[in-house]
Amino acid sequence: MSEGSLYELVLGKVAAGAALPTARPPRASAAVVLWRRADDGQVEVLWMRRADTLAFMGGWHAFPGGGLSRHDREIAVTGEPAGVADGPADAGMPAAVVGDLDLGDAVPPGLVGCALRELFEEVGLLVATSERAGLADELERRIDGGERFAQALAGLEATLDAGRLVYAGRWLTPQLGPVRFDNRFFLLEWPADLTAQPRTVSTEVAELEWVRPAAALESWQRGDVITAPPILHLLRVLDEDGPEVGLARLRNPVEANLGPHRKIEFQPGIVLFPLLTPTLPPADRTNTYLLGCGEAVLVDPGSPYDQEIAGLLDALAAAAEQGRRVGAIWLTHHHPDHIGGVEQVREALGVPVLAHAATAERLAPLGIRVDGLLEDGQRIVLGGDPELLVRVVHTPGHARGHLCFLEERTGAVIAGDLIAGFGTIVIDPPEGDMDDYLASLERLAGLQPKTLFPSHGPTVRAAVAKLEEYVEHRLWREERILEAWRSGIREPLDLVRKVYEDVPEIAHPLAARQLQAHLDRLERAGRLTRT
């Protein structure tokens, strides 16, 4: 580790057992899968593209739904979805997903009301016991007037009809960030000859589409859309078995697992494993990626914990049975939360480790051998169906040897620590360099990627917009630093308090390193002079 690297020192303290915030329990949520039969008898489902501006799954394709609110228990609901008792609370959930959570009831109080409320708020469909003409319009007017859904429904003496729903399984979102969802899916047949049809009524919805499951899966396979594992599973089952025969597979989706992990494949050929690591809070995990649909590589096995690596190896064995075999380990950079499991995985799989030359130089004193070098502009073909063409992109700034991996067919990028799904990226001199970091962001944006797969946090769909946002934010911060400097503030901690007032005090030492990186850049540009 380099002298003066406060960032790596902080990671070391986390590894030594520094207290971390307690993770919040997953929030209960629900989604409704509308389906119908076309004239030829084939099944169609309604899915939607979520607005790009949404913090959670912005730009992704999903089904109407959302999180349980504290008022959903007040919603008047009669009946219950069919099949709830046929699916145990933990059906099909792998150990790495559940952890030590108490899963409780398969469908908790208020959740059915939540599902039907979200259906009304997002696509304008009211599933009520009354068929009174104009009821949905009256409800919408009351809500627009400021009434809560439950209050407006009660004022109209209306009741939602849960008996039309069919329970279709339960999924926990992976541990990619501080917010997780415990989601239940419900099927609802909605024939085309009904008067009321889905429409976009929420700013959260960018586009609605009735689509055959096979066509939706083809769009995903081409990389045109990004979606979550439960959506893919529902589409596959509805395509292969239909909404009646496929219910057992939907309620017990064990086939969607890889060993003790859920198979998290947001885009074809990129499988994600969020492994517990000593990393920078609020993150507590580093995303390890299995890249490839046949010939494959493993990117950043970062966990130093035996149990995490054992689970990863079990998952890789399951992936190998499906035809994805790891031929090498690739590293984005040298930081400890990215290389903690390298030696264990190398020994278990008998594969070489590849990285940038600067990363190899940094790892050598730690006794970690790099067997081959990855160079900027290098293109590597990973055979399979589909075949992946991966371009190596040198992106220094966070670390001198930092690499990103661009899958050129789909525009997906394994981004390492160039960006984060939440939190920030620390630029800590002398290893970190702000000029290099901004140039790396701009260079990657110039390659017009579509999706970013960061090392910490969830996947980002609007890739270019996110990269540009990072540049704009750093330059905005830099102008504030320059303004404060010109006003006469010189002491680093005084500058931090002035410029990073939105950053918690506990993080001020790291903010001071970011400040140093900006000051270095400003001085090189001749915009200030330090004595």
What distance in Å separates the CA atoms of residue 266 and residue 195, rounded to the nearest whole number?
Answer: 35
Is residue 42 located within the same domain as residue 188?
A: yes
Q: What is the pTM of this model?
A: 0.93
> Is the model more confident about 401 or about 507?
401
236 and 131 in a common domain: yes
Kindly report the backbone phi and psi dihedral angles of residue 245, in degrees, each rounded to the nearest multiple of 5, phi listed first.
-65, -30
Q: Say yes or no: 98 and 118 in one domain.
A: yes
**DSSP of 429-485:** TTT--HHHHHHHHHHHHHT--SEEEESSS--BS-HHHHHHHHHHHHHHHHHHHHHHH
In a domain, 69, yes or no: yes
Of 44, 218, 201, nearest to 119 by C-alpha is: 201
**Range of weakest confidence among 245-254, 276-285, 384-393, 446-455:** 276-285
Which residue from 273, 290, 256 is spatially nearest to 382, judged by alpha carbons? 290
Residues 250 and 277 in one domain: no
Q: Look at residues 270, 237, 315, 230 and name the one whose alpha carbon lies nearest to residue 451.
A: 270
Q: Residue 124's CB: how many other CB atoms inside 10 A?
A: 18
- Alpha-carbon 134 to chain mean position: 40
- 3/124: higher pLDDT: 124
Domain that holds residue 449: 263-461
**Residue 89: predicted pLDDT:** 65
Reported as a single tens digit per residue, the pLDDT across 159-215 is 999 999 999 999 998 888 778 899 999 999 999 999 999 999 999 999 999 999 999
Q: What is the pLDDT of residue 4?
A: 43
**Does residue 515 contact residue 492 with C-beta atoms inside 8 Å?**
yes
Asked if 162 and 116 count as a contact pair (C-beta separation under 8 A), the reply is yes
CA dist., res. 452 & res. 460, Å (int): 5
**93 lies in a domain?**
yes
User: Is the pLDDT score of 485 beyond 50?
Assistant: yes
Q: How far is CA 434 from CA 62, 345, 396, 415, in A?
A: 37, 33, 9, 17
Q: Are residues 182 and 297 in the same domain?
A: no
- Indicate whether 21 pLDDT > 60: no
Q: Looking at the domain assignment, is residue 4 inside a domain?
A: no
322 and 336 Cβ atoms separated by less than 8 Å: no
pLDDT tens column, 246-283 = 999 999 999 999 988 999 999 999 999 999 998 887 88
Q: Please choose, from the candidates 349, 364, 219, the residue with its C-alpha nearest in 3D space to the C-alpha of residue 290.
A: 349
pLDDT of residue 179: 81
For the domain that residue 186 is a member of, what is the CATH number?
3.90.79.10
> At residue 18, does pLDDT exceed 60?
no
Pairwise CA distance, residues 193 & 144, whole Å: 28
Query: What helix, strand, coil percent values describe the chain, rounded to 5?
Result: 35, 20, 40
16: confidence class by pLDDT, cuts 50, 70, 90 = low
Q: Greater confidence, 21 or 378?
A: 378
518: nearest Cα among 450, 428, 416: 428
On the CB side of 362, CA atoms within 13 Å amount to 23
Q: How many residues does the chain have?
A: 531
In this structure, the answer to whether residues 250 and 268 fall within a common structural domain is no
One domain for residues 283 and 242: no
Q: Note whether 387 and 244 are same-domain residues.
A: no
Average pLDDT over residues 293-321: 97
Express each pLDDT in 53-62 by its tens digit. 888 888 999 9
Higher model confidence: residue 254 or residue 131? 254
Q: What is the CATH number of the domain that holds 365?
A: 3.60.15.10
pLDDT value, residue 86? 73
Domain boundary pick from 257, 287, 314? 257
Alpha-carbon gap, residue 295 to 385, rounded angstroms: 10
- Rounded-to-integer distance, Cα 83 and Cα 247, Å: 9
What is the pLDDT confidence band of residue 104, given thresholds at 50, 70 and 90?
confident
Q: Are residues 317 and 442 in the same domain?
A: yes
Give, in degrees to the nearest 5, the angle at Cα 415 between 409 and 421.
Answer: 115
Report yes or no on 213 lying in a domain: yes
Mean pLDDT of 26-47: 96
- Tell me: do 335 and 301 sit in the same domain: yes
CA-CA distance, 330 to 392, in Å (whole number)?
A: 11
Same domain, yes or no: 438 and 395: yes
The single-letter code of the amino acid at 511 is A
Last residue in a domain, options 241, 257, 273 = 257
User: Could you give the CA distance from residue 171 to residue 32 in angstroms, rounded to a whole number?
Assistant: 13
In the chain, how many domains are there? 2
What rounded mean pLDDT belongs to the chain?
A: 92
Closest CA to 244 of 129, 39, 82: 82
Q: Which burial class, exposed, middle or buried, applies to 378 when counting CB atoms under 10 A from its CB (0-12, 13-18, 19+)?
A: middle
Q: What backbone phi and psi angles, to 5 degrees, belong to 361?
A: -65, -40
Cβ-contact 495, 456 below 8 angstroms: no
The predicted pLDDT at position 80 comes to 94
**Which sign, positive or negative, has the C-alpha torsion 306, 312, 318, 322?**
negative
Q: Which residues of 445-463 are buried (b: 16+ CB within 10 A; e: fewer)?
A: bebebbbbbbbbbbbbbbb
pLDDT digit string, tens, across residues 199-247: 999 999 999 999 999 999 999 999 899 999 999 999 999 999 999 999 9
CA atoms of 304 and 343, how far apart (whole Å): 10
* pLDDT interval class at 19 (50, 70, 90): low
Claim to verify: residue 400 and residue 359 sit in the same structural domain: yes
Is residue 415 in a domain? yes
- Whether 1 shows a pLDDT value over 60: the answer reads no
Q: Please answer whether residues 170 and 252 qualify as being in contact, where contact means their C-beta atoms are separated by less than 8 angstroms.
A: no
User: Is residue 516 a part of any domain in this protein?
Assistant: no
- C-alpha 489/C-alpha 486 separation (Å) is 7
Give 235: exposed, middle or buried? Use CB within 10 Å, 0-12, 13-18, 19+. Answer: buried
Type of residue at 29: S
Place of tokens 């959506």: 231
**The pairing of beta strand 65-67 with beta strand 27-37:** antiparallel
In a domain, 7, yes or no: no
Q: Which of 257, 289, 306 is the endpoint of a domain?
A: 257
In the chain, the largest separation of any two C-alpha atoms, in whole Å, equals 79
- Please compute Rg for the chain using Cα positions: 25
Residue 469 maps to a domain: no
- The pLDDT of residue 101 is above 90: no
Alpha helices for 172-245 (secondary structure H): 213-222, 229-240, 242-245
Q: Both tokens of residue 359?
A: 């990363």
